[in-house]
Structure 1
Protein backbone atom coordinates (compact mmCIF):
# COMPACT_ATOMS: atom_id res chain seq x y z
CA UNK A 1 0.00 0.00 0.00
CA UNK A 2 1.40 3.35 -1.03
CA UNK A 3 1.59 6.16 1.51
CA UNK A 4 -0.15 9.37 0.44
CA UNK A 5 1.17 12.40 2.32
CA UNK A 6 -1.44 14.50 4.02
CA UNK A 7 -1.84 18.14 3.16
CA UNK A 8 -1.53 20.47 6.11
CA UNK A 9 -2.77 24.02 6.06
CA UNK A 10 -1.33 26.85 8.03
CA UNK A 11 -3.55 29.16 10.04
CA UNK A 12 -4.17 32.49 8.39
CA UNK A 13 -2.19 35.35 9.85
CA UNK A 14 -3.64 38.02 7.60
CA UNK A 15 -6.45 40.06 9.07
CA UNK A 16 -8.61 42.56 7.24
CA UNK A 17 -9.15 46.01 8.64
CA UNK A 18 -12.70 47.04 9.57
CA UNK A 19 -12.73 49.42 6.60
CA UNK A 20 -11.78 46.60 4.21
CA UNK A 21 -14.56 44.44 5.66
CA UNK A 22 -17.11 47.23 5.27
CA UNK A 23 -16.50 47.85 1.56
CA UNK A 24 -18.31 44.73 0.22
CA UNK A 25 -21.20 45.32 2.62
CA UNK A 26 -21.61 48.92 1.49
CA UNK A 27 -21.38 48.01 -2.19
CA UNK A 28 -24.02 45.29 -1.78
CA UNK A 29 -26.29 47.65 0.17
CA UNK A 30 -25.99 50.40 -2.44
CA UNK A 31 -26.64 47.95 -5.27
CA UNK A 32 -29.69 46.59 -3.44
CA UNK A 33 -31.11 50.06 -2.81
CA UNK A 34 -30.46 51.04 -6.43
CA UNK A 35 -32.28 47.93 -7.70
CA UNK A 36 -35.23 48.36 -5.33
CA UNK A 37 -35.72 52.02 -6.18
CA UNK A 38 -35.18 51.31 -9.88
CA UNK A 39 -37.89 48.67 -9.85
CA UNK A 40 -40.16 50.86 -7.74
CA UNK A 41 -40.10 53.75 -10.21
CA UNK A 42 -40.02 51.73 -13.44
CA UNK A 43 -43.16 51.15 -15.48
CA UNK A 44 -44.56 47.66 -15.78
CA UNK A 45 -43.70 47.52 -19.49
CA UNK A 46 -40.04 48.26 -18.75
CA UNK A 47 -39.95 45.53 -16.10
CA UNK A 48 -41.63 43.06 -18.46
CA UNK A 49 -39.13 43.81 -21.22
CA UNK A 50 -36.20 43.44 -18.83
CA UNK A 51 -37.46 40.07 -17.58
CA UNK A 52 -38.19 38.97 -21.15
CA UNK A 53 -34.69 39.90 -22.32
CA UNK A 54 -33.21 38.18 -19.28
CA UNK A 55 -35.01 34.95 -20.15
CA UNK A 56 -33.65 35.07 -23.69
CA UNK A 57 -30.14 35.85 -22.39
CA UNK A 58 -30.24 32.58 -20.41
CA UNK A 59 -31.60 30.70 -23.47
CA UNK A 60 -35.09 30.16 -22.02
CA UNK A 61 -37.76 30.32 -24.71
CA UNK A 62 -40.90 32.21 -23.79
CA UNK A 63 -43.02 32.31 -26.99
Structure 2
Protein backbone atom coordinates (compact mmCIF):
# COMPACT_ATOMS: atom_id res chain seq x y z
CA UNK A 1 0.00 0.00 0.00
CA UNK A 2 1.60 3.31 -1.06
CA UNK A 3 2.04 6.08 1.47
CA UNK A 4 0.65 9.43 0.39
CA UNK A 5 1.44 12.77 1.93
CA UNK A 6 -1.08 15.57 2.20
CA UNK A 7 -0.09 18.75 0.43
CA UNK A 8 0.06 21.82 2.58
CA UNK A 9 -2.10 24.61 1.32
CA UNK A 10 -1.38 28.26 1.81
CA UNK A 11 -4.34 30.56 2.29
CA UNK A 12 -4.25 33.53 -0.03
CA UNK A 13 -5.55 36.78 1.40
CA UNK A 14 -8.56 38.29 -0.31
CA UNK A 15 -8.80 41.97 -1.03
CA UNK A 16 -11.20 44.40 0.57
CA UNK A 17 -13.18 44.73 -2.66
CA UNK A 18 -13.66 40.96 -2.85
CA UNK A 19 -14.84 40.87 0.77
CA UNK A 20 -17.27 43.71 0.07
CA UNK A 21 -18.68 41.89 -2.96
CA UNK A 22 -19.25 38.76 -0.87
CA UNK A 23 -20.82 40.78 1.98
CA UNK A 24 -23.17 42.67 -0.37
CA UNK A 25 -24.12 39.43 -2.13
CA UNK A 26 -24.86 37.68 1.17
CA UNK A 27 -26.91 40.64 2.36
CA UNK A 28 -28.97 40.74 -0.82
CA UNK A 29 -29.56 36.99 -0.66
CA UNK A 30 -30.64 37.26 2.98
CA UNK A 31 -33.01 40.14 2.24
CA UNK A 32 -34.56 38.23 -0.66
CA UNK A 33 -35.11 35.19 1.56
CA UNK A 34 -36.69 37.28 4.34
CA UNK A 35 -38.90 39.10 1.83
CA UNK A 36 -39.96 35.82 0.21
CA UNK A 37 -40.76 34.15 3.53
CA UNK A 38 -42.49 37.16 5.02
CA UNK A 39 -44.73 37.96 2.07
CA UNK A 40 -45.16 34.48 0.66
CA UNK A 41 -48.65 33.43 -0.37
CA UNK A 42 -47.60 29.86 0.37
CA UNK A 43 -49.06 29.50 3.84
CA UNK A 44 -46.58 26.86 5.03
CA UNK A 45 -43.58 29.08 4.19
CA UNK A 46 -45.10 32.13 5.84
CA UNK A 47 -46.10 30.21 8.97
CA UNK A 48 -42.65 28.63 9.27
CA UNK A 49 -41.00 32.05 9.13
CA UNK A 50 -43.52 33.42 11.60
CA UNK A 51 -42.97 30.57 14.08
CA UNK A 52 -39.20 30.93 13.72
CA UNK A 53 -39.38 34.62 14.57
CA UNK A 54 -41.43 33.82 17.69
CA UNK A 55 -39.07 31.04 18.79
CA UNK A 56 -36.15 33.48 18.51
CA UNK A 57 -38.06 36.05 20.64
CA UNK A 58 -38.11 38.44 17.69
CA UNK A 59 -41.20 40.68 17.72
CA UNK A 60 -43.14 40.53 14.50
CA UNK A 61 -46.51 42.12 15.27
Same topology, TM > 0.5: no
- Return the structure number with greater relative CO, CA threshold 8 A, min gap 6: 2
* Range into which the TM-score falls when normalised by the shorter chain: 0.3 to 0.5
